[in-house]
Structure 1
Amino acid sequence: MTVNAQTENTKAAKENSNSDNAEVLLQLEKQVSVAVWIQFIGQIMEAYYLSKIMLVSEEVRSDANERQILLGAWVQTAGQFLESIGTTKQILTDEEKLTLEAQEITNLGDWLQSLGLVLEANAGTQIILEEKQQELEPTKFIP
């Protein structure tokens, strides 16, 4: 009889533990969603201010690499927005089909962010190479 009572207590403890874990997991997922939205706010601010710089500076506006950096920032912003939407939808649904759709949205956002990052990194590399090339050019001697 005591073994049976101990087994029942162990089962009850495991069920409570699983319930507690599920609650902790849900809270952590909600915090991830908030963090992703905060990232989106930061990303949109970056793209916005880069756009403002582009409007103010003719030198920046006329440089194809600088325009590519701006494009990359906006592509990342779109991707971050989709990731935010997808992450939030995943938390708000228990339905398997809707969860899968939300995961697809999140994944598309990740891909867009990656594409934007590649655009920015490529343009940044080109800018660095151009600056190094200018340093290597001999200065002209004008008598």
Structure 2
Amino acid sequence: MTVNAQTENTKEAKENSYSDNEEVLLQLEKQVSIAVWIQFIGQIMEAYYLSKIMLVSEEVRSDANEQQILLGAWIQTLGQFLEGYGTTQQIVSDEEKLTLEAQEITNVGDWLQTLGTLLEANAGTQIILEEKQNELAPIKFFP
């Protein structure tokens, strides 16, 4: 085998390896997109059932912290949808400009999810603090 033949074989092997890697990456990106949509389904179910609890329970409905938890869940749901949409658009887009726009949509979705999580965590903390305050309240003596 000559040096030129060896060089050509090496180039072909590298090109095939690159092509194989690109295909593996595309498959993994598709799987990520599917996983994000599955998360969206779970998130919308959480927000939906929290909304139903709010409708059924007057105690929950009248609690500002519980309302904030519900708001946070719906904001997260919107963010999860945008992340799913943006992720999918990144995979199907061939144009660099459209891919960048899809990345921006995905990023906005991530920020909305973060905001929703912060709202829920803050409200949850307030509920815990109120519960602890009630536990520490002096017990009244009734003779």
User: Within the alignment, does 1:73 sit opposite 2:77 as a pair?
Assistant: no
SS of the residue 1:139 aligns to: coil
C-alpha root-mean-square deviation of aligned residues, in Å?
Answer: 0.7
TM-score (norm 1): 0.98
User: Within the alignment, does 1:56 sit opposite 2:56 as a pair?
Assistant: yes
CA distance in 1 between counterparts of 2:51 and 2:74 reads 9
Q: Which runs of 5+ in 2 are unaligned?
A: none
After TM superposition, list the pairs within 5 Å mapping 1:1-143 onto structure 2.
Answer: 2-143=2-143
Q: CA deviation at 1:124?
A: 0.1
CA distance in 1 between counterparts of 2:89 and 2:6 reads 41
Q: CA deviation at 1:142?
A: 1.9
SS of the residue 2:24 aligns to: helix
How many residue pairs match? The answer is 143
CA distance in 1 between counterparts of 2:52 and 2:93 reads 39
Q: Which amino acid aligns with 1:26?
A: L
CA distance in 2 between counterparts of 1:63 and 1:93 reads 45
CA distance in 2 between counterparts of 1:102 and 1:110 reads 12
Q: Which amino acid aligns with 2:46?
A: E
Q: Which runs of 5+ in 1 are unaligned?
A: none
Q: Which amino acid aligns with 1:119?
A: L
CA distance in 2 between counterparts of 1:35 and 1:58 reads 36
Q: CA deviation at 1:34?
A: 0.3
Q: Which amino acid aligns with 1:96?
A: E
Q: Which amino acid aligns with 1:121?
A: A
Q: CA deviation at 1:113?
A: 0.2
Q: Runs in 1 of length 4+ with deviation above 2 angstroms?
A: none
Identity %: 86
SS of the residue 2:19 aligns to: helix
